[in-house]
Amino acid sequence: MPGHARGHLLGGWLSALAGLAGAGLPDLTGAILLIEAERTIGLGQVDRQLTQLIRSGALDGLWGIVLGRFPGFEDYTDRGWNLVDVLRDRLTPLGVPVLGGLEFGHGPDPHAVALGTMAELDTASGTLTLRPPAHDRYG
* pTM of the shown model: 0.90
What is the C-alpha to C-alpha distance for residues 13 and 114, in angstroms, rounded to an integer?
A: 14
Angle CA 46–70–1, to nearest 5: 75
Q: Is the pLDDT of residue 20 over 80?
A: yes
Q: What pLDDT score does 2 carry?
A: 87
pLDDT tens for each residue of 32-43? 999 999 998 899
Q: Is the pLDDT of residue 138 over 60?
A: no
pLDDT tens figures, 89-103: 999 999 999 999 998
- Going by pLDDT thresholds of 50, 70 and 90, the confidence category of residue 48 is very high
Instruction: Annotate 104-117 with b (16+ C-beta within 10 A) or e (fewer).
Output: bbbeeeeeebeeee
- For 63-89, what is each residue's pLDDT tens digit? 999 999 999 999 999 999 999 999 999
Distance CA(31)–CA(47), nearest Å, equals: 21
**Distance separating the N- and C-terminal Cα atoms of the chain:** 38
pLDDT at 22: 81
Q: DSSP secondary-structure letter at 84?
A: H
Domain spans in the chain, listed from the N-terminal domain onward: 4-131
For 4-131, CATH number out of 3.90.550.10, 3.50.30.60, 3.90.79.10, 3.30.300.20 equals: 3.50.30.60
Rounded Cα gap, residues 135 and 87, in angstroms: 32
